[in-house]
């Protein structure tokens, strides 16, 4: 009838659902992905309960910043899926950094840390922001260690965590504690149940989205437990407009221009804005741009929506026992005052 002309061009919900019901996923293709472990491990930094608890305190302690207003949690808010929701984070005296702050959740899965992969491990990474003048702006590692030594509760906690060491309060040990804590920050989701064989764990629509994701080839770069990856060129097919030279600034090799570490897609529907420059606020836009710039493809509205539905199924459970701010040891008489 005439009313047919008034129908929107988009497929109806019924049509989408019945199409989705026919989706058959070849489980052999799923080997690109991995379920999240209960926690990440690193043989060089064995996990102990004391270390994790110390790392958690340090993660939340603003006394590790010059003006004592910033902690790791300021820019990687554990209650907000490990991000601050800003394009660029505000650091010391409100200064803006040049890149979007990535989530710390599931960061134990990354092959390297930072957008340009400049830190090999979480321990190396943790030493950066405390001394970075636009982040926590502490003047030196020695000053950080002096501050920790002035807090009696920390001296005891480092002694218990690193038994047998003559001088356990060190910058290296601080990094070890924070790294061990971060390896606990894992967010299992229904996707992990699906990977383990539970067909019912994903809805038909989510499976349709997963199929679209794989048919497009997104998992060539977004794989493994984090659905992230190694260092690749952003704009490999169609150049992406950015001034940030990525890994080139670290290595000065021409082949590293605009090379970035592929970020995780876990919890991605909760970690806007997107890309290293935080320039994209909508997930569907990020998905379309990825297909264009990385694969040379133009996604339809339906394909884009399907992928977004799948990505939302990567939203996991936050580890309730870790995300609340712990009580921190009291300052001593020699603890430095905030230095504005
Ligand atoms: C990157 C942890 C403090 C902003 C990262 C990464 C980790 C991390 C693990 C790499 C994630 C990845 O590559 O996917 C920490 C810890 C901190 C801390 C443990 C405390 C010691 C801060 C603060 C800010 C901040 C206070 C904001 C002022 C950023 C930004 C990046 C980043 C902008 C990306 C920088 C780049 O890739 O060049 N952080 N962070 N972080 N963090 Fe933090
Ligand atoms: C970033 C999805 C294909 C490499 C992202 C982001 C999303 C995404 C949502 C933003 C994550 C964030 O900022 O937190 C997809 C989808 C794909 C796809 C749905 C398939 C259609 C690929 C491919 C490659 C790739 C094939 C490698 C050739 C990257 C890189 C970034 C990224 C390097 C970081 C961009 C930046 O530095 O600003 N992807 N991706 N992606 N993806 Fe993909």
Q: Name the residue with tokens 């019924």.
A: 14
Local structure of 261: helix, strand or coil: strand
Confidence class for position 19, pLDDT limits 50, 70, 90: low
Structure tokens at 171: 């910058």
Task: Ligand 2: list residues with CB < 6 Å.
Answer: 115, 213, 216-218, 220-222, 232, 234, 236, 260, 262-263, 265, 268, 271, 274-276, 286-287, 290-291, 294-295, 307
Distance CA 183, CA 187 (A): 11
ipTM: 0.98
Is 130 close to ligand 1, i.e. is its CB under 6 Å away?
yes
Substitution site in 33, 221, 243 for ligand 2 pocket (most atoms within 8 Å of beta carbon): 221
Task: Tell which CATH architecture fits domain 49-186.
Answer: Orthogonal Bundle (1.10)
Percent of the chain with pLDDT strictly greater than 90: 91
pLDDT at 261 over 50: yes
Write the residue with the smallest CA distance to atom 19 of ligand 1: 126
301 noted as active-site residue? no
pLDDT tens-digit series, residues 111-152:
999 999 999 999 999 999 999 999 999 999 999 999 999 999
Is 8-36+187-312 a CATH 1.10.3470.10 domain? no
- pLDDT class for 23, splitting at 50, 70, 90? confident
Contact between 47 and 41 under an 8 Å Cβ cutoff? The reply is yes
| pLDDT tens digits, one per residue of 298-320 | 999 999 999 999 999 999 999 99
> Does 49-186 match 8-36+187-312 at the fold level?
yes
Q: How far apart are CA 47 and CA 49, in angstroms?
A: 7
Using CA atoms, how far residue 65 sits from 74, 131, 163, 167, in Å, is 11, 8, 27, 23
From CA 300, how far away is CA 36, in angstroms rounded? 31
Give the model's pLDDT for residue 24. 87
Reading the block at residue 16, the tokens are 């989408």
Residue spans of the domains in the chain: they are 8-36+187-312, 49-186
Residue 222 pLDDT > 50: yes
- Residue 36 pLDDT greater than 60, yes or no: yes
């Amino acid at each position: 009838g005439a009313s047919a002309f008034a129908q929107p061009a988009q497929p109806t919900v019924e049509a989408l659902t019945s199409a989705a019901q026919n989706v058959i996923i070849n489980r052999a293709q799923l080997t690109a992905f991995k379920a999240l472990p209960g926690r990440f491990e690193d043989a060089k930094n064995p996990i102990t309960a004391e270390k994790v608890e110390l790392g958690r305190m340090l993660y939340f302690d603003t006394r590790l910043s010059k003006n004592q207003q910033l902690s790791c949690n300021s820019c990687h808010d554990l209650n907000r899926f490990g991000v601050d929701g800003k394009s660029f984070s505000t650091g010391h005296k409100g200064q803006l950094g040049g890149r979007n702050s990535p989530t710390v959740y599931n960061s134990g899965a990354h092959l390297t840390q930072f957008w340009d992969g400049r830190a090999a491990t979480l321990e190396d990474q943790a030493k950066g922001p405390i001394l970075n003048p636009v982040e926590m702006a502490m003047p030196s590692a020695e000053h950080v260690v002096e501050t920790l030594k002035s807090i009696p509760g920390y001296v005891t906690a480092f002694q218990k965590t690193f038994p047998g060491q003559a001088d356990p309060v060190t910058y290296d040990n601080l990094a070890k504690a924070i790294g061990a804590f971060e390896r606990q920050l894992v967010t299992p989701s229904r996707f992990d149940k699906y990977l383990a064989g539970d067909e019912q764990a994903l809805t038909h629509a989510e499976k349709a989205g997963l199929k679209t994701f794989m048919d497009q080839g997104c998992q060539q770069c977004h794989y493994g437990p984090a659905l992230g990856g190694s260092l690749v060129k952003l704009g490999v097919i169609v150049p992406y407009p950015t001034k940030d030279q990525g890994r080139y600034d670290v290595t000065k090799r021409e082949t590293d221009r605009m090379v970035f570490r592929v970020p995780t897609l876990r919890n991605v529907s909760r970690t806007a804005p997107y890309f290293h420059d935080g320039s994209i606020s909508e997930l569907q836009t990020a998905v379309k741009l990825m297909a264009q710039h990385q694969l040379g493809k133009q996604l339809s509205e339906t394909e884009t929506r399907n992928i977004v539905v799948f990505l939302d199924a990567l939203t996991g459970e936050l580890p309730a026992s870790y995300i609340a701010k712990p009580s921190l040891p009291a300052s001593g008489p020699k603890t430095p005052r905030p230095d504005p």
